[in-house]
Protein backbone atom coordinates (compact mmCIF):
# COMPACT_ATOMS: atom_id res chain seq x y z
CA UNK A 1 0.00 0.00 0.00
CA UNK A 2 1.37 3.37 -0.99
CA UNK A 3 -0.23 5.05 2.01
CA UNK A 4 1.77 3.20 4.64
CA UNK A 5 4.99 3.62 2.69
CA UNK A 6 4.37 7.32 2.22
CA UNK A 7 3.62 7.96 5.86
CA UNK A 8 6.69 6.06 7.02
CA UNK A 9 8.91 8.62 5.25
CA UNK A 10 7.86 11.40 7.62
CA UNK A 11 7.93 11.96 11.34
CA UNK A 12 4.42 12.01 12.73
CA UNK A 13 4.64 15.74 13.46
CA UNK A 14 1.97 18.24 12.50
CA UNK A 15 4.43 20.50 10.68
CA UNK A 16 4.95 17.70 8.15
CA UNK A 17 1.30 17.72 7.13
CA UNK A 18 1.79 19.56 3.82
CA UNK A 19 4.62 17.24 2.81
CA UNK A 20 2.53 14.21 3.73
CA UNK A 21 -0.49 15.45 1.80
CA UNK A 22 1.66 16.31 -1.24
CA UNK A 23 3.14 12.83 -1.18
CA UNK A 24 -0.17 11.03 -0.67
CA UNK A 25 -1.70 12.98 -3.53
CA UNK A 26 1.25 12.31 -5.84
CA UNK A 27 1.00 8.60 -5.14
CA UNK A 28 -2.75 8.33 -5.46
CA UNK A 29 -3.40 6.83 -8.91
CA UNK A 30 -6.10 9.43 -9.46
CA UNK A 31 -3.90 12.32 -8.30
CA UNK A 32 -6.15 13.55 -5.53
CA UNK A 33 -6.65 13.19 -1.81
CA UNK A 34 -9.23 10.46 -1.32
CA UNK A 35 -11.10 10.08 1.95
CA UNK A 36 -8.81 7.14 2.70
CA UNK A 37 -5.75 9.38 2.23
CA UNK A 38 -7.13 11.97 4.62
CA UNK A 39 -8.07 9.27 7.13
CA UNK A 40 -4.59 7.72 6.93
CA UNK A 41 -2.94 11.10 7.46
CA UNK A 42 -5.24 11.94 10.38
CA UNK A 43 -4.57 8.64 12.11
CA UNK A 44 -0.84 8.95 11.58
CA UNK A 45 -0.70 12.48 13.00
CA UNK A 46 -3.29 11.67 15.68
CA UNK A 47 -5.55 14.55 14.75
CA UNK A 48 -9.25 14.47 13.79
CA UNK A 49 -10.25 13.68 10.22
CA UNK A 50 -11.92 17.10 10.06
CA UNK A 51 -8.63 18.81 10.85
CA UNK A 52 -6.79 17.21 7.92
CA UNK A 53 -9.76 17.90 5.66
CA UNK A 54 -9.70 21.57 6.67
CA UNK A 55 -6.01 21.85 5.78
CA UNK A 56 -6.37 19.92 2.52
CA UNK A 57 -9.29 22.05 1.38
CA UNK A 58 -7.46 25.31 2.07
CA UNK A 59 -4.58 24.90 -0.37
CA UNK A 60 -5.21 25.01 -4.10
CA UNK A 61 -2.58 22.42 -4.97
CA UNK A 62 -4.65 19.75 -3.21
CA UNK A 63 -7.68 18.26 -4.90
CA UNK A 64 -10.50 16.43 -3.17
CA UNK A 65 -11.86 15.16 -6.48
CA UNK A 66 -10.28 12.49 -8.70
CA UNK A 67 -8.17 13.98 -11.47
CA UNK A 68 -6.71 12.88 -14.78
CA UNK A 69 -3.23 11.64 -15.58
CA UNK A 70 -2.14 15.13 -16.60
CA UNK A 71 -3.17 18.16 -14.59
CA UNK A 72 -3.13 21.30 -16.69
CA UNK A 73 -2.79 24.42 -14.59
CA UNK A 74 -3.19 27.52 -16.69
CA UNK A 75 -2.08 30.78 -15.12
CA UNK A 76 -4.76 33.47 -15.15
CA UNK A 77 -3.02 36.14 -13.08
CA UNK A 78 -2.81 39.68 -14.53
CA UNK A 79 0.51 39.22 -16.42
CA UNK A 80 -0.74 36.13 -18.27
CA UNK A 81 -4.15 37.74 -18.67
CA UNK A 82 -2.49 40.66 -20.43
CA UNK A 83 -0.73 38.27 -22.80
CA UNK A 84 -3.90 36.39 -23.75
CA UNK A 85 -4.53 33.63 -21.23
CA UNK A 86 -8.30 34.13 -21.51
CA UNK A 87 -8.42 33.08 -25.15
CA UNK A 88 -6.20 30.10 -24.31
CA UNK A 89 -8.59 29.10 -21.56
CA UNK A 90 -11.49 29.24 -24.00
CA UNK A 91 -9.45 27.18 -26.42
CA UNK A 92 -8.54 24.55 -23.81
CA UNK A 93 -12.14 24.27 -22.62
CA UNK A 94 -13.31 23.75 -26.16
CA UNK A 95 -10.64 21.35 -27.30
CA UNK A 96 -10.82 19.22 -24.13
CA UNK A 97 -14.59 19.62 -23.85
CA UNK A 98 -14.41 20.33 -20.11
CA UNK A 99 -15.05 23.22 -17.75
CA UNK A 100 -12.45 24.48 -15.29
CA UNK A 101 -11.97 21.86 -12.57
CA UNK A 102 -13.24 18.99 -14.72
CA UNK A 103 -11.49 15.94 -16.14
CA UNK A 104 -11.79 14.68 -19.70
CA UNK A 105 -13.86 11.53 -20.26
CA UNK A 106 -10.77 9.47 -21.07
CA UNK A 107 -9.28 10.60 -17.70
CA UNK A 108 -6.25 12.03 -19.50
CA UNK A 109 -6.46 15.73 -18.63
CA UNK A 110 -7.81 17.85 -15.81
CA UNK A 111 -8.14 21.56 -16.49
CA UNK A 112 -7.37 23.90 -13.61
CA UNK A 113 -6.49 27.54 -13.19
CA UNK A 114 -3.59 28.69 -11.07
CA UNK A 115 -2.26 31.95 -9.71
CA UNK A 116 1.02 33.35 -10.98
CA UNK A 117 3.59 30.63 -11.72
CA UNK A 118 6.49 33.06 -11.87
CA UNK A 119 6.95 32.39 -15.58
CA UNK A 120 5.71 35.86 -16.55
CA UNK A 121 8.62 36.51 -18.92
CA UNK A 122 7.15 33.89 -21.25
CA UNK A 123 3.46 34.58 -20.57
CA UNK A 124 0.97 33.10 -21.13
CA UNK A 125 2.17 30.09 -19.20
CA UNK A 126 0.88 26.83 -17.77
CA UNK A 127 2.11 23.79 -15.93
CA UNK A 128 1.33 20.19 -16.74
CA UNK A 129 2.13 18.17 -13.65
CA UNK A 130 5.67 19.35 -12.77
CA UNK A 131 6.57 20.73 -16.18
CA UNK A 132 6.24 24.42 -17.18
CA UNK A 133 5.30 25.74 -20.60
CA UNK A 134 5.43 29.32 -21.85
CA UNK A 135 4.77 31.53 -24.88
CA UNK A 136 1.63 29.49 -25.43
CA UNK A 137 -0.53 29.67 -28.54
CA UNK A 138 -3.40 27.36 -29.53
CA UNK A 139 -1.03 25.56 -31.91
CA UNK A 140 1.59 25.11 -29.17
CA UNK A 141 -1.08 23.80 -26.78
CA UNK A 142 -2.26 21.33 -29.42
CA UNK A 143 1.26 20.01 -29.88
CA UNK A 144 1.82 19.66 -26.13
CA UNK A 145 -1.46 17.78 -25.60
CA UNK A 146 -0.95 15.60 -28.66
CA UNK A 147 2.49 14.55 -27.44
CA UNK A 148 1.00 13.39 -24.16
CA UNK A 149 -1.79 11.51 -25.87
CA UNK A 150 0.73 9.67 -28.00
CA UNK A 151 2.92 8.77 -25.05
CA UNK A 152 0.29 6.31 -23.90
Binding flag, residue 128, other proteins (CB under 8 A) = no
Q: Which residues of 54-74 are buried (b: 16+ CB within 10 A; e: fewer)?
A: ebbeeeeebbeeebbbbbbbb
Choosing from 77, 103, 104, 110, the residue that interacts with other proteins (CB under 8 A) is: 77
Question: 137 by DSSP, 3-state: which?
Answer: coil
- Using the minimum distance from each CB to other proteins, give the nearer residue, 62 or 109: 62
Under rule CB under 8 A, which residues in 97-126 are in contact with other proteins? 113-123
Distance (Å, whole) CA 48 – CA 114: 29
Binding flag, residue 12, other proteins (CB under 8 A) = no
User: Which residues share a beta bridge with 113?
Assistant: 74
Cis omega before residue 2 (within 30°)? no
Closest distance between other proteins and the C-beta of residue 45, in Å? 8
Please report, as ranges, the residues that interact with other proteins according to CB under 8 A.
Answer: 13-19, 21-22, 54-55, 58-62, 76-79, 81-83, 113-123, 127, 130-135
Amino acid sequence: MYREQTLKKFNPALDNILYILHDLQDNNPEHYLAKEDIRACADYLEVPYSYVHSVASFYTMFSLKPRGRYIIRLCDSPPCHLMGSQSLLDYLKKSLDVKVGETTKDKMFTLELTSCLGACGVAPAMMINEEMFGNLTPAAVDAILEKRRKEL
